[in-house]
Structure 1
Amino acid sequence: MNKIQVGIVGGAGFTGGELLRILIFHPMVNLVFVHSRSQANKAVSEVHTDLFGDTHLRFSEGLSDQIDLLFLCLGHGESQVFLEANPIGAQVKIIDLSQDFRLKASGEDFVYGLPELYRKEIQGAQHIANPGCFATAIQLALLPLAQQESLKNPIHISATTGSTGAGQRWSATTQHSWRANNLSVYKALEHQHLAEIQQSLRAVQAGFDQEISFIPQRGSFARGIFVVLNTKTELSEKELRKRYADYYKTHPFTHLSPTAIDLKQVVNTNKALIYLEKKGDDLVVIAAIDNLLKGASGQAVQNMNLLFGLDETAGLRLKPLAF
């Protein structure tokens, strides 16, 4: 099989950098260009210094149509503008990592790229909208319940993300001195990922109308998402574990853990880990992912593998940090 010819737009940020780290070593990829408006003509390793010695690529000002796939790693609201200004050939597949096309109303020809929900649709897609990071973790925590129409009560979620979740652009709440030994809440009950979470749950559980209370938090660490959600169910813990295990048995990156999980188990991997606890009618579901990998660039490469008929795990068997 010939290598996939790939271009990246927006390669200088966090998600672009993670995508480069995966694709440079992917056995079936040839990187044709990495576009960046802010870093044009600079060596990629001058911006992503950890890649020094691994690539001689330079950021480009222009685009090439001699590609099979284009990754868009632009800010929210910028991908749609970019595609309107730069028509892409019909033969080129697109994976967009922004939120611009995740909702059906805004991306009718984009397939929502959560493999644990839409694997078959992804395999036949031309355009893919990569899910949000919080949305990925929360949906993976809830999908096995929705599949059996078992989400019958309000859902309460507290989830903490690392500083890289805010992107590379500087702000007062992303600087290290502010984040260190600190914790804060933002966008309580109105986070933008709620809409795509509700969209997916309604697609699986017809008529889903339960309230989702979502409290996002900024954590004192660089990467990762740790989700703790609570809802009520009459299902036994044994039955719940079976449902989760059955749902994810064919999905190589999502695993139900028999013991309590922690964030370092998933950082620097494309894995999602889930753990369940039941007390009376109260169910607690804990989920953890790396926001830059399973929550962004790793999942984008997983979608690429499915698009081009590769092993879903190709280039994504990554080692967790562990300590």
Structure 2
Amino acid sequence: PITSIHGDLVGETNLNFNADYNQEVDVLFLCLSHGESKKLLSEATFHETTHIIDLGNDFRLGDSVYGREFVYGLPEFQREKITSAKNIANPGCFATAIQLGLLPLAKAGLLKSVHTTGITGSTGAGQKLQDTTHFTWRANNISPYKTLTHQHLGEIQQTLRALQPAFADSVHFIPWRGDFTRGIFVTSVLESNLSLAEANQLYKDFYTSHPFTHVAESMIDMKQVVNTNKCLLYLEKVGNQLVIHSAIDNLVKGASGQAIQNMNLIFGFDETLGLKLKPIVF
């Protein structure tokens, strides 16, 4: 039974796992380790009408398999393209949080060299047992990792340059491991001539039609978004430096929730269907 692995579903479902592929399903979600989605699709055949939404990183940079092309599934970036897509490459969790903090500037051609830090919970490392996900190591501890080399940088640069082709600078990103289970909090800093009022208006105008990304009027915190598909943004201006804070749940807007959002768009459902979730504030 599914509940043997997902204990939180006890009393919610009697479904069982099945090792047989239904090759004619309407939609297939792939939640596999990096490299495994491409391998599976190379070995298993699914009907050409089946929509595939891959939550791994195999297709985020434009790779295809047996003629299946994948559209990068960040709705705030290219919602219209997603609605007509056959297959979706779901963005990474850090990539989602960072891009949502920078898209309005890129669209306006105002993006310059960016310095970004971001902290994520232990669930961002997946289920594989590692020293750095063990409770005794993680509790009361933080540490940086993959300094300036994180695997999500490729998809971030790809999106930003699609909006601002002249963007020749880099996103200098240092990720951190946090002593909590879920959530991401990112802060990006760059030089800008915009006033704080102008920057806030730019962001509010950009996200006005997007139901899950909101510009807050006061400082945000991570608990405001955990267990939701929301991204909250808060902007500050210090001298000529624009500071953009963004927060998401790495498991929802950074993974499964965004996958459902993409499915809703593909099938013409309400974009928020099944995703009106309350945050776990306390």
Asked if these proteins are the same fold (TM beyond 0.5), I'd say yes
State the secondary structure of the residue aligned to 1:103. Answer: coil
Counting only pairs closer than 5 Å after superposition, residues 232-311 of structure 1 correspond to structure 2 as 232-311=191-270
Q: Which amino acid aligns with 1:208?
A: F
What is the Cα deviation at residue 274 of structure 1? 0.3
Say if 1:106 and 1:196 are closer, same or farther in 2 by CA, change over 3 A.
farther
Corresponding residue of 1:184? 143
> In the alignment, which residue of structure 2 is the partner of 1:57?
15
The residue type equivalent to 1:191 in the other structure is: H
Within 5 Å, which residues of 2 pair with 1:1-323? 43-105=1-63, 109-152=69-112, 154-323=113-282
Give 1:65 shift: 2.1
Identity score, percent = 56
Q: Is the 8 A contact 2:23 2:45 kept in 1?
A: no
Root mean square deviation of aligned Cα: 1.0
Q: Unpaired segments of 5 or more residues in structure 1?
A: 1-42
Deviations 1:45-74 (A, max 9, x none): 111111001011111111112410000001
CA shift, 1:106, in A, is 5.2
CA–CA separation in structure 2 for the residues paired with 1:97 and 1:51? 21
The TM-score, its normalising length taken from structure 2, stands at 0.98
- Structure 2 distance, partners of 1:315, 1:63, is 25
Q: Aligned partners of 1:119 and 1:297: how far apart in 2?
A: 17
Q: What are the Cα deviations for residues 123-156 of structure 1, in whole angstroms up to 9, with x where unaligned?
A: 000000000000000000000000000013x210
TM-superposed CA distance for 1:169, in Å, is 0.9
208-217 or 263-272, which moves further after superposition? 208-217
What CA deviation, in whole Å up to 9, does each residue of 1:17-50 have, x standing for no partner?
xxxxxxxxxxxxxxxxxxxxxxxxxx10111111
1:272 deviation in Å? 0.2
Report how far residue 105 of structure 1 moved. Answer: 4.5
Letter in 2 for 1:64: N
**Per-residue deviation, 1:260:** 0.1
Once the 2 structures are TM-superposed, how far is the Cα of residue 104 of structure 1 from its aligned partner? 1.9
Kindly provide the CA deviation profile for residues 261-301 of structure 1, in whole angstroms up to 9, marking residues without a partner as x. Answer: 00000000000000000011011100000000000000000
- Residue 123 of structure 2 aligns to a residue whose secondary structure is helix
**Could you tell me which amino acid in structure 2 is paired with residue 54 of structure 1?**
E
Q: What count of residue pairs does the alignment treat as equivalent?
A: 280
Q: Quick one: distance in 2 between partners of 1:233 and 1:50?
A: 46
Structure-1-length-normalised TM-score: 0.85
Instruction: Please tell me the residue identity of whatever aligns with 1:275.
Output: Y
For residues 279 and 56 of structure 1, the distance between their equivalents in structure 2, rounded to whole angstroms, comes to 55
CA distance in 2, matches of 1:314, 1:166: 28
Runs of 4+ aligned structure 1 residues displaced above 3 Å come to: 105-108
